[in-house]
Amino acid sequence: MRLIEEKFRNLKKRSEGALIGFIICGDPTLSYTLAIVHALIEGGIDMLELGIPFSDPIVDGPVIQRATLRALKAGVRPSKVLDLARRIHIMHPNIPIIILTYYNIIFRMGLENFFNNVRENKIDGVIVPDMPIEESSEYRAVADRYDVATIFLAAPSTSDERLEKIIEYSSGFTYLVSVFGVTGARERLRKESINFIRRASSISNGRIPIAVGFGISKPSHIRAIIDNGADGAIVGSKIIQIIEGNINNDIEMLSKLKKYVRILKKSTINDK
C-alpha cells in the first residue's frame, strides 16, 4: 500500500480528514523551505505538496506566481526539489510527499528518468495540472512501474463521464478544483463547489479518496467540504501569503504558520 493511501485510511479510522499543505519549493530559498516544512508538519499537516518552480504556471494565481518567481530567482531547479524531498522524507518518514509539476519539466527530463528520480527521492505522488487524461497512458504506465501515485485534477465543469475516467485513472487521490479560474484564497465556498464535491463523491463511491483545493483557506471551508463528501483539503495560497508577509522575520513566519495549520487541522476532525 502506498503511503498516501495508508495515510487516508488511518485518518478515516480516526474520523479525520486529511490536511494537505502546498508550498513552492525554494520560496524564498531552499533552506527556508526546509524550516517551513518542519513548521507545517509540527502544526499538523498530514501530507506535503511541493511545487516545482516553473516559468509559466498556468493554473496559479498571483500569490503562487510571486512565490514561483522568488524560487526561480533563488536558483531552484527540479533536481534540487527532488533532493529536498528526500531530505524531508528522512526526517519525516510518515508524511507522504507529493510533487506538483508541469509536463514540460517531465518531458525535458524524460519520463523514465523523471519517475526513477521521483522514486529514488522518496516521493509518493505526482500532480501534473496540464496533463490531460486522454494523453496519459504512457505517463501512467511508467509511474505505475515505479509505484508512484498519479493524481489527476477535475474541475466543476467536468462531465460525469469524464469525471468517472479521472477517478479511474487517478491513484492516491483525485484532486477536485473547487472553483473556476486560478489558485488563490477565497472568502467563501460557492454552492456550485459543494454540489461538485457531492457529485464527485457519489461517482467515486469510496473507490479513491477525494481532496479539494483552490480557494480553501478557512476552517469553515474545510469543515464544509469534508461534511459534503471530501476526504481531504489542500491549502496553498494562504500558507504562501503568510510566508510572503513575513520573509524578513523567520521566527514570526514559522510561528504564524504553525498556529494557522493547527487551527485548520482541528477543523478536519469529526468530533460528533
Judged against a pLDDT cut of 90, whether residue 57 lies above it is answered with no
Task: Report pLDDT for 181.
Answer: 42
Residue 232 grid coordinates: 481531504
**Cα torsion 16, 206, 178, 55: sign:** positive
Look at residue 41 and tell me whether its pLDDT is greater than 80: yes
Question: Per residue in 99-150, pLDDT tens?
Answer: 999 999 999 999 999 999 999 999 999 999 999 999 999 999 999 999 999 9
The answer to whether 130 is a known catalytic residue is no
CATH level 3 topology of 3-262 = TIM Barrel (3.20.20)
Domains in the chain: boundaries: 3-262
pLDDT tens per residue, range 217-268: 999 999 999 999 999 999 999 999 999 999 989 999 999 999 999 999 999 9
For residues 129 and 79, what is the distance between their CA atoms, to the nearest angstrom?
20
Cα dihedral across residues 232, 236, 237, 242: positive or negative? positive
Cell matching residue 162:
469524464
What pLDDT score does 148 carry?
97
The pLDDT value recorded for residue 160 is: 95
- Catalytic residue (one of 49, 56, 187, 231): 49
* CA distance from start to end of the chain: 30
Report which of 153, 196, 146 is spatially closest to residue 2, judged by C-alpha positions: 146
Is the separation of the CB atoms in 105 and 129 below 8 Å? no
What does the alpha-carbon distance between residue 81 and residue 73 come to, in Å, rounded to a whole number?
Answer: 14
pLDDT tens digits, one per residue of 187-221: 567 788 899 999 999 999 999 999 999 889 999 99
Cell numbers placing 263: 487551527
For the chain, what percent of residues have pLDDT higher than 90?
85
SS3 of residue 30 by DSSP? helix
Which member of 5, 60, 124, 231 is catalytic? 60
Q: Is 27 a catalytic residue?
A: no
Residue for grid cell 477517478: 167
